Amino acid sequence: MYELIQVGERTYYIECPAKVGVYKVSDNDVYLVDSGNDKEAGRKILRVLKNNDWNLKGIINTHSNADHIGGNKFLQQRTGCQIISTPIENTITRFPILEPSFLYGGYPFKELRNKFLMANASDPTHNIDEYLPEGLEYIKLGGHYLDMIGLKTPDDVHFLADCVFSENIINKYHLSFVYDVRAFLNTLDTVEQLQARLFIPAHADTCEDIRPLVKANRDKVYEIIDRILSICMDATGFEDILQAVFNAYDLTMDFNQYVLVGSTVRSYLSYLHDEGKMDCLIMDNRMLWQTI
């Protein structure tokens, strides 16, 4: 773990739970793509950089999930590096309480204010549209989170963040977090057409052909859609839908899974309603969902 792997003349990644990219802008200066999940990850990443006599110029965050920005604060304090992302992701990076708040739908109780859902705050310095290291390109990868991006290096390597997940993760957890189902499906269509020498998803093995992984993720989305439509043949409240989803996939609920899977199920319900496949009803002071 935390092994540095070179995949191009100037492109590397660090093998860790959410892969961290490294791009050299000169012999001694590098930018990271994301920063790991916490202070300890940041410490290990900095050790890798120091072992190679590299100076950290900046961190480009693909999005502001805690496992992608958790090392920001430590690395910024130690190096004074820049932190760069899209405006809305920068806002959550600066005010990370926003992540568990929007997942829960209110002020998060103490068990939800944990490093898995809420990173330590760091200070973003640039918006991606105003500042991007020379040679790098970015692509919008909507759906998983609010305004996620991927990055392409001159070595023809794509860092794809969380727009696809490994088949092992899909088969184990089934409902990977999705904020906007329609945007997620559109991103899968876009990524399926990308041409690159190498693809690096954050939570899957590197690959030269991304299409099989895209198909596995897309198939799971449509499976979940069918499952929710089946659950809601009769008018059903959200908590009953969520329980049925957990039971159907043999998942074990805890506080983190309640908000992550719960938010994702709500996103599926919104998608199905907007697509004209689901009615949203208010009956006896309850919100109910029913398949059309």
State the pLDDT at residue 96: 97
Q: Which residue, 226, 217, 252, 239, is CA-closest to 286?
A: 239
> Which residue ranges does the chain devote to CATH 3.60.15.10?
3-165+187-220
Confidence tier at 37 by pLDDT (50, 70, 90): very high
- Whether the pTM exceeds 0.75: the reply is yes
Please report the pLDDT score of residue 81 as a whole number.
Answer: 98
Predicted local distance difference test score (pLDDT) of residue 238? 98
Domain with CATH 1.10.10.10 in the chain: 222-291
Average pLDDT, the chain: 97
- What's the pLDDT band for 251 if we cut at 50, 70, 90? very high
Mean pLDDT of 131-141: 95
Q: What is Dmax (Cα atoms) for the chain?
A: 67
Q: What is the pLDDT of residues 74-99, one digit of tens each?
A: 999 999 999 999 999 999 999 999 99
Q: How confident is the model at residue 255, as a pLDDT?
A: 98
Select from 198, 222, 225, 224 the least CA-distant residue to 209: 198
Give the tens place of pLDDT for each residue, 253-275: 999 999 999 999 999 999 999 99
Q: Where are the alpha helices (DSSP H) in 137-180?
A: 167-173
**Alpha-carbon torsion 241, 242, 245, 247, what sign?**
negative
- HSE toward the beta carbon, residue 219, CA cutoff 13 A: 10
The CATH code of the domain at 222-291 is 1.10.10.10
Q: State what percent of residues in the chain have pLDDT above 70.
A: 100
User: Would you state the pLDDT for residue 80?
Assistant: 97
Domain 3-165+187-220 adopts which CATH fold? Answer: Metallo-beta-lactamase; Chain A (3.60.15)
